[in-house]
DNA sequence: TCTACACTTAACAATTACATAATGTCTTTT
DNA sequence: AAAAGACATTATGTAATTGTTAAGTGTAGA
């Protein structure tokens, strides 16, 4: 039987007392925790901490829980990270919007330790099952494993550098769909970084070269797409 | 030869007669026992007594057996503690729910001493085997023993310092999976401690050096992963 | 107290990824 | 067919990242 790693939980709330309370409870249950007191901090911490689950207060100054969740859901890393909303009292309205926006559960304050633990457990277990299936992208003879950062073609390893891997993953995430050069830049390099257009070509070339076969089709004047022949 | 400690059993039932009866039987077989008469007391006693096995009555006032078990399972200490349910008569429904919730066995009342002893024995034996397997990680020629803090490669001992051992254990816990530097820091050093990035490299180097072979692969710009060649 | 060892850091070396420029090839347009 | 536009290819310098070594610090044990 394999040893299970403790799961990482990010706790976001603007009230220090609540953070303290939740933090204590979850830590004593063996979880690895990190905290944030507003939406902006939450997003920053999420990037470095890479939590397995996020507990997110709905009512916060500046950026509220809903808005924070929306922004997180756009980022590939947190597209599927489970989120449990913390809401003040039975507020039917926000419950519905919360679940619609892509939260996985919600807990009403005041928070009861047992309930918290149960919900956290349930959501994490559910997620773990999904993960196992989702971690591998299988595209014919090509297998891309995001957690292993590995690519194999017909069982043979293809060793790609970071940018190459991310580029291929992006294209392969929607086979057949054309990604505009702009979009590729945004998603692989980020919005701040500015690199020339040729850079993409060069990376594409390296992937084609290393793979030996060509899954990437150039759509002139538009972009690139992944396609098995 | 290692001295075997008597195993500790926590008996939970709301009827004093039954507690008395079970207690007498198990004590006479050499077990160390402790009792509780309801769910709340059971959880409290469990924390201090740290039983190897829990006999848990299903039907209890206030907090029933199922609920108690659920709460116990959330706590790291009792995540894997074997539990045998005591149910009144052949109650198919509760049997099923009991086993689903993570009980290891069940005994129907009225309790027969021989049956009790047999079941208790069986469950404890099963657990002991699981333990042994769980504590060792076997990865090809590499064996990592978490309880003994020892590592052998092809039968030869590799003596690692604590941090080195923890680092290797972490990587080996999910072979192939890449651990980001950030995650390594959080999991081996904890979220409070702040150490420089080179620290990881140095530890990695010592492991590679001491092992003679290299199970650890660097993924530049990403992290490290464990991989047998 | 002395010694040994674990751990961290700093400084530097080595390596690698990456972006770019320059040039080549192909395609489309006129 | 020439020219322009678009991508491919190659080579190369640099920036980023990791490897290595040695030395400093602290701590436990002899």
Rounded to 5°, the CA angle B112-B116-B122 comes to 150
Quote the pLDDT of residue A59.
Answer: 85
- The mean pLDDT of B78-104, rounded to a whole number, is 71
Helix/strand/coil percentages in chain A, nearest 5: 45, 25, 30
Q: What share of chain B is helix, strand, coil (3-state, %, to 5)?
A: 45, 25, 30
Token pair of B63 as six digits: 């907090």
Residue with tokens 């007669």: B17
Assign B19 a pLDDT band (cuts: 50, 70, 90): very high
Q: How far is CA B72 from the centre of its chain?
A: 13
- Residue ranges in chain A whose pLDDT is less than 70: 1-3, 89-101, 132-134, 229
pLDDT of residue A91: 56
Q: At what angle do helices A16-28 and A113-134 cross, to 10 degrees?
A: 70
Q: Residue B58 — very low, low, confident or very high, per pLDDT cuts 50/70/90?
A: confident
pLDDT over 60 (residue B96): no
Report CB contact under 8 Å: A29, B222: no
In the predicted structure, residue B33 carries a pLDDT above the cut 90: yes
Residue A6: list chain B partners with CB under 8 A: 187
A136 phi/psi in degrees, rounded to 5: -100, 135
3-state secondary structure B59-72: CCCCCCHHHHHHHH
- Residue B35 main-chain phi, psi, to 5 deg: -130, 160
Q: How far is B192 from chain A (nearest CA, A)?
A: 10
pTM over 0.75: no
The per-residue pLDDT for A95 is 53
Between CA A150 and C1' C21 the distance (Å) reads 31
Give distance CA B223 / C1' D26 (Å): 29
pLDDT score, position A88: 77
Phi, psi of B179 (to 5 degrees): -105, 125
Q: Is B97's pLDDT higher than 80? A: no
Residues A16-64 have pLDDT tens digits of 999 999 999 998 777 889 999 999 999 989 988 889 999 999 888 888 8
DSSP string over B84-132: EEEEES--HHHHHHHHHHT--EEEEESPPHHHHHHHHHHHHHHHHHHHH
Selected residue of B70, B219, B229 to mutate for chain A interface (largest A Cβ count, 10 A)? B219
Is the model more confident about B204 or about A80?
B204
Q: Return the SS3 of A145.
A: strand
* Model pLDDT, residue B3: 46
Which nucleotides on strand C sit less than 7 A from a protein beta carbon?
Answer: 5-12, 16-22, 27-28
Instruction: Give CA torsion, residues A82, A119, A85, A35, to 10 deg.
Output: -80
Instruction: State percent of chain B over pLDDT 90.
Output: 56
Mean pLDDT of chain B: 87
CB B224 within 8 A of CB B171: yes
- Check B186 against A32: CB less than 8 A apart: yes
Which pLDDT belongs to residue A132? 67
- Which residue in chain B is spatially nearest to A116 when comparing CA positions? B74
pLDDT score for B189: 94
Given a contact cutoff of 8 angstroms between Cβ atoms, the answer to whether B184 and A50 are in contact is no
Q: Can you give the pLDDT at residue A194? A: 85
**What does the pLDDT look like over B104-152, one tens digit per residue?**
888 888 889 989 999 999 999 888 877 766 678 889 899 998 878 899 9
Contact B191 A117 (CB under 8 A): no
> Would you say the C-beta of A218 is within 7 Å of strand C?
no
pLDDT at B187: 92
Residue A67: strand, helix, or coil: helix
Quick one: pLDDT at residue B200? Answer: 97
| Residue A3 with chain B: CB contacts under 8 Å | 134, 137, 146, 169, 173
A176 CB contacts (<8 Å, ≥6 apart)?
A225, A226, A227
């Amino acid at each position: 039987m394999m040893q299970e790693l403790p799961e990482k939980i990010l706790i976001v709330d603007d009230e220090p007392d609540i953070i303290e309370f939740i933090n204590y409870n979850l830590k004593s249950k063996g979880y690895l925790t990190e905290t944030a007191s507003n939406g902006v901090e939450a997003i920053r911490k999420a990037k470095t901490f890479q939590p397995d689950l996020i507990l997110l207060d709905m009512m916060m100054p500046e950026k509220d829980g809903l808005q924070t969740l929306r922004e997180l859901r756009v980022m590939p890393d947190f597209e599927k990270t489970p989120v449990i909303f913390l809401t003040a009292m039975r507020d039917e309205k926000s419950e519905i919007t919360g679940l619609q926006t892509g939260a996985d559960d919600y807990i009403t304050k005041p928070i009861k330790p047992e309930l918290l633990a149960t919900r956290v457990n349930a959501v994490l277990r559910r997620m773990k099952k999904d993960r196992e299936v989702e971690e591998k992208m299988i595209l014919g003879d090509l297998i891309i494993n995001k957690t292993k950062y590995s690519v194999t073609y017909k069982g043979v390893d293809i060793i790609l550098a970071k940018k190459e891997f991310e580029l291929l993953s992006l294209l392969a995430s929607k086979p057949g769909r054309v990604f505009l050069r702009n979009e590729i830049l945004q998603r692989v390099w980020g919005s701040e970084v500015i690199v020339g257009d040729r850079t993409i070509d060069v990376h594409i070339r390296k992937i084609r070269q290393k793979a030996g076969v060509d899954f990437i089709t150039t759509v002139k004047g538009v972009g690139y797409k992944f396609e098995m022949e």
